[in-house]
Structure 1
Amino acid sequence: MVAQAGKDLLLKLDRAGDGTFVSVAGLRSRRFALNANPIDITDAESTGRWRELLAGASTRHASLSGSGLFRDKASAEEVRAAFFAGALCNWQIILPGFGTLEGPFHLSALEYSGDYRSEVTFEISLESAGALTFTQLS
């Protein structure tokens, strides 16, 4: 993956649950992580007591965190409603030069902050909550 502008990583929400994704915020900073936790099969007879892992098996999850400004009042209300409902919503993450990741995420944190001389900003954290699909950019 060649260098890309950080502003090109987009976060979109399927508001109506119909597969139509809309950008909800202008994220100024963002972090996206894919993780695969290995399955440990070590037992008393493992050679030299070295840890053994089960090949081809792991528990995968994705997480995204970021901070910025909501796109508009409707976006702020939609994200806030999803948080208070504890709803699992379909989100889409567009990774420039890589592809699109899409699927259900749990909105695990929503924080607001502001300085008396500037706008109110927010921080958001999402954790995957099911199978995700990946579409490679062509």
Structure 2
Amino acid sequence: MGAQKGKDLMVKISDGSTYVTVAGLRSRRIAFNAELVDITHAESAERWRELLAGAGVRRASISGRGLFKDAASDALVRSAFFNGLISDCQLIVPDFGAISGPFQIAALEFAGEHNGEVTFDVTLESAGALSFAAL
């Protein structure tokens, strides 16, 4: 995979029938994490830590920062947050694949400078199993 344009990393949220791109995002990020289950014991080889494979909780977090650009996607994000919905979301990583599954908006923040535009930050946390499809 060669270098890719950051603008091609897309965050999408389902409106119930189709995926809608969260408009106005200037930066996006996805992080995958897995908790480790430490099973180290007194007889562990030379006191090296041992882990239990596949036992930890896995999670994904999507975050983005941008400005208001599209009333329809702005309303979809706002509605999902204020109604506490778990929405089907998709993250497109160019020349890599699409990660899809249920997410809940964990944070929605707004900011603005006196002589600048109003921006927003959004954080989504996985709420179930995710799938991956290569592009």
Q: Structure 1-normalised TM-score?
A: 0.88
- After TM superposition, the structure 1 = structure 2 runs for residues 56-67 of structure 1, keeping only pairs within 5 Å, are 56-67=54-65
What is the CA deviation profile of residues 2-50 of structure 1, one whole-angstrom value per residue up to 9, with x for unaligned ones? 110000001111012x3x1011222111221122222222234333433
Tell me if the contact between 1:24 and 1:70 (Cα under 8 Å) persists in the aligned partners: no
For the residue of structure 2 that corresponds to 1:64, the secondary structure is: strand
Tell me if the contact between 1:23 and 1:71 (Cα under 8 Å) persists in the aligned partners: no
Match of 1:94 in 2: 92
Moved over 4 A (4+): none
% same residue = 58
Query: Cα gap change, 1:42/1:50 in structure 2, threshold over 3 Å: closer, same or farther?
Result: same
Match of 1:134 among 120, 132, 135: 132
Tell me if the contact between 2:20 and 2:73 (Cα under 8 Å) persists in the aligned partners: no
The amino acid across from 1:121 in the alignment is T
Match of 1:81 in 2: 79
CA drift at 1:53: 0.5
CA drift at 1:60: 1.6
CA drift at 1:122: 0.3
Match of 1:42 among 22, 40, 47: 40
Tell me if the contact between 2:111 and 2:120 (Cα under 8 Å) persists in the aligned partners: yes
Structure 2: distance between partners of 1:44 and 1:100: 43
Q: Structure 2-normalised TM-score?
A: 0.89
What is the CA deviation profile of residues 59-104 of structure 1, one whole-angstrom value per residue up to 9, with x for unaligned ones? 2211111100233222222211211121111111001111100100
For the residue of structure 2 that corresponds to 1:2, the secondary structure is: coil
What is the CA deviation profile of residues 98-125 of structure 1, one whole-angstrom value per residue up to 9, with x for unaligned ones? 1100100121111001122222110011
* Worse-superposed segment, 121-130 or 33-42: 33-42
**What CA RMSD, in Å, does the superposition of the two structures yield over aligned residues?**
1.6
Match of 2:7 in 1: 7
Unmatched tracts of structure 1, length 5 or more: none
Q: How many residues matched?
A: 135
CA drift at 1:135: 0.5
